[in-house]
Each structure stands twice: as C-alpha cells, then as structure tokens.
Structure 1
C-alpha cells in the first residue's frame, strides 16, 4: 500500500513538472514575472563581456607591439624600424629622381603621398601614452632639421632637393616640405593615434593633396571658375582620396582598439575632406602653401565634427 502511494505521488509530481515545463517552452501565455529580470541580467552580462573583451584586446595588442619589457627600449626599437622604413622610401624616390624615371613633379608628389602614410602605419609599434607619441615624433622632427639645413643651403644634397622641390631650388624646401614635416610631427605629438583628428589631418595632407595634383595635372582640363590653377576633377580627387584614406586608417586603428569607429565618425571624415578640398582649391592656398592650409583646415573642422 505504501509503495503504491509513493509511486502515485511520483507520477503526479512528474506530470506537474512536465506540464509546467511545457508551458514554459511552448505556451503563448505571458512570461513569468522574473523573466524580464533575467533577460536584463543576460544583456548586462553581454555588455560587460564585450567591454572586457575590448579591454583585453587593447592590452594584448599593446603588449604585442612591445619589443622589450622596458617601454623605453621598446620605443627606441620601434623608432629604429619606423625610421628605417621612412629612410628606405626616401632613398627609393631619390633614386627615381636621379634616373628621371618619373616627371619631377610626379616624383615629388609620390614622396608626398607615401612618406606620411607609411609613418602613420608604424604608430601601433610604439607604447601607449605621451611617451610613445613623443618618441615617435622624433622621426619627422629629424626631417624638419633636414629641410632647414637643405633649404638654407647649409647642407648640399641634390637628389633630395630634386625629389622634393618643384623646380630644383633648395629654398623651396623651406615652404611645402617643411610644413609637411611639421604637420606630421605636431599631429603625432598633440593628437597621436587615439584621435581621429590626427588621421584626418595626415590623410588629407598626404593622400588628398597628393592625388589632387597627380589627377589634376593629367585629367584637369576643366578649371575652377574662381581659381584657374585648379581643376574640378583635381578637387574631387582630393576630397575622395582624403576621405577614403581616413576611412582606411579608422579601420586600421580601430582594430588595435585606439579609436571606436562609427557612422558619425565616417560622416565627420567626409565633412573634413570636403572642407580641406575647398580650402586647397582657394587662391589663398596657392599664395600661402596648401601643405599649410590643408592640415590647418582639417584640424579646425575636425575639432567640431570628429
């Protein structure tokens, strides 16, 4: 009799559990009162896990960029590698200028496009914080000294002058090339790799301004009504090249966790590139130097939209 009662109670309990379970998974009725609580806890857990994952990725990528446990030694190794890459590119363009493989103006613009963008690719090798930025800035700072020595005629190096000047005059290096090196140095020291303003300034200076001249000289038969020295297609090429390069570097630095890419940032880069192209096309940029006006416009507009 006792065993019969025991088996009956088990059957009743199992049926009630099955019914409650079936109502939990298959019923269309309202969820239990605690379901929203557990759902919110689950979402919070996902958000927390995402934050921890991003923080861990930043730490791992920062550690992966270190060449030594001592951050100072690591930064100087990164400086040697970055400087070697920049020097190799300069030597390549000096050789092409010597051998006249390209038109002198085209050769100059190839230097203009590649040096700054290649240097920015090396930024993740340096340590985080102001120390990494300051040590990285030593590379373009050396180039500032070179431009001063060459431009003032203190140091003679015809291949460098030919590869960086329009007409082979060493005094030209005291304008555009000096502004170019100064812009990259200041963008590195002041903004560094965590700021989209640095990306916008360097990309519009290097890719944007460089492609504007190359495309404009080749296809720019239709001139701007307010500046006969600039073409419509050249200005369009500048805006598009600066914008696309900015997007590329946004993805690049985002993969290391330095910036958080977003549609708002994409729109900001487009506005900055458009403003930089308009400023470059103005006659005032021809009088001053677009290597000065373009980065100034990029920083000024970028401070409002990025």
Structure 2
C-alpha cells in the first residue's frame, strides 16, 4: 500500500484517467503487433525486403545468446559455479546482452522480427529440452531450480517468450521495452541473489522475500533501465529527458513491489507485465 501511495502521489494523476489512458495505449499496442507479416504478401517477397545486414545481425545476436548459455553450461559441467547463482546469472545476462545487439539491425520494418529470432529460438530450445526431444543435462542443470527438465517449460520458457513479445511490440524505438527487459533481467535477478545472500529481515506480507532483496531490485533495475534508455537515445532512436529517467525509476518501483507480492504467477510474467503497464502510462512508445 505504501508503494502504491508513493506511485500515485509522485505522478499526481487521476486514477480514472490513468486507467483510460492505459486502455487507449494498450489498444494502439495491439494494433501495432497484430500481425507478424502482411497478409497480402508472400513469405518470400517479405524475406526479400530484409537487408542482408539484418541476417548478419541476427546471426551475431543468436551467437551471442547461445554463447552465454554455453559458457554457463561449461561451468555447470565442471561444478565451478553454484547452481542457483548460475541460473540467475543466465537470467540477468541473456536479456541484457541481447539488447546490446539491437543497434546492429537496420531501420527496415522487418528488422525487429529478425532480432526476435534469438529469444524465440531459445524458447524453442527450452521446449525441446523440457519435452526430452533434445538432450543437454548440463544446460538443464544450469537453467532449472531442482535439475528437472520439465522445469524448463516454466520459468525459462516464460522468460524467452516474454522477451520475444517485448521485442516485437516495442523494439528499440520505445524505452518501454528496454525498461521492461531491464526490470525482468537486472531487477528480478539481483533481487534473488542479494536477498539470498544478505536478506535477514523478511517482508511482513511475504515471508519468502526480504527487504534487501526488494531494495536491490529497485536499485539495479533503475540503474540498468536508465543505462539502456541513455544507450538507445545515443543512437537517436528517441530523445531521453530527465522526466523519462524519473519515469524509469517509478516503473522499477512498481515492478519491485509486484515481485515482492505472494502471487501464484511466475515472476517472469508479473514483473515485465507490470513494467510494461506502468511504462505505457509514463513513457513514449
């Protein structure tokens, strides 16, 4: 309740107006994401419009994403890294490194679909491993909580699908997508790492979460969100202002509060959803 009060007092907006604005912006978002390819064109004609640069960028992005997984796969094989820490580092780095490659892509309309291929391919890999169609015991160990392959069909798959959808719906021309991914990766990831290591005082409404973990979420998510906002603004995709940086902090505060709640939903859904919802109210897209 304190977080909600702080949020609306900082913004000084009417609740009814906020809900109405969210409905309007959500409708605009759905219209922009309605289809992956125009129905009036064949797949081959659409593919021909994609510059060669985007194929190269997609290959580099996919290689980078797989390299992170391979690196922690090797660490898991050698038992050089504690399993929970390995899983959280993959959680933190995969999405953040993925966004670093976005400026490699052209300004073509289909560029974002080429970029989304990397997390989508990772999602398909999680499905293959989870169903037993693919075999990689070390990767399953590094990515799962208890070492079971079926776990990959939950959190890791949700993570890949969420980043894929955010890429397709917001892309680099809007800070909303970058901030949502930053909260999912840096916020949620560091909240668990810091909370498990230094957390002693539990939250009164959730005994599985700590004050220091939620604080780490807010601090790291805010810093990384502002960093990526500045990063994409430097490439000229949008203009960053001090109000925008302040808004990213409000988004991170909201997402941190959502992550701290004892909800039945996976954090890989709740955190980016809240970040997107609040971001659509406060940030341009």
1:292 matches 2:269: yes
Whole-Å Cα distance in 1 between the matches of residues 50 and 111 of structure 2?
9
Say which of 69, 76, 85 aligns to 1:97.
76
Whole-Å Cα distance in 2 between the matches of residues 166 and 136 of structure 1?
28
Unaligned 5+ residue runs, structure 2?
A: 1-48
Whole-Å Cα distance in 1 between the matches of residues 276 and 51 of structure 2?
30
1:158 matches 2:137: yes
Contact kept in structure 1, 2:179 and 2:228, CA below 8 Å: no
Residue in 2 aligned with 1:228? 207
- Per-residue Cα deviation, 1:27-67 (whole angstroms, up to 9, x for no partner): xxxxxxxxxxxxxxxxxxxxxxxxxxxxxxxxxxxxxxxxx
Residue in 2 aligned with 1:77? 56
- Per-residue Cα deviation, 1:79-103 (whole angstroms, up to 9, x for no partner): 1111111111111111111111121
Q: Greater helix percent: which structure?
A: 1
- Per-residue Cα deviation, 1:77-128 (whole angstroms, up to 9, x for no partner): 0111111111111111111111111210000000000010001000000011
Whole-Å Cα distance in 1 between the matches of residues 50 and 104 of structure 2?
11
Whole-Å Cα distance in 1 between the matches of residues 66 and 133 of structure 2?
21
SS of the residue 1:283 aligns to: coil
Whole-Å Cα distance in 1 between the matches of residues 75 and 259 of structure 2?
28
List structure 1 runs of 4+ shifted beyond 3 angstroms.
none
Whole-Å Cα distance in 1 between the matches of residues 223 and 238 of structure 2?
17
Deviation of 1:71 after TM superposition, in Å, equals 5.1
Residue in 2 aligned with 1:255? 234
SS of the residue 2:207 aligns to: strand
Residue in 1 aligned with 2:118? 139
Contact kept in structure 1, 2:50 and 2:108, CA below 8 Å: no
Whole-Å Cα distance in 1 between the matches of residues 221 and 56 of structure 2?
30
Residue in 2 aligned with 1:267? 246
1:190-229 residue pairs with structure 2 within 5 A?
Answer: 190-229=169-208
Residue in 2 aligned with 1:240? 219
Whole-Å Cα distance in 2 between the matches of residues 71 and 288 of structure 1?
38
SS of the residue 1:228 aligns to: strand
Say which of 176, 179, 196 aligns to 2:158.
179
Whole-Å Cα distance in 2 between the matches of residues 84 and 154 of structure 1?
22
Deviation of 1:129 after TM superposition, in Å, equals 4.1
Per the normalisation by structure 1, the TM-score is: 0.75
Higher Cα radius of gyration: 1
SS of the residue 2:240 aligns to: coil
Whole-Å Cα distance in 1 between the matches of residues 106 and 51 of structure 2?
8
Contact kept in structure 1, 2:179 and 2:229, CA below 8 Å: no
* Larger RCO (alpha carbons 8 Å, 6+ apart): 2
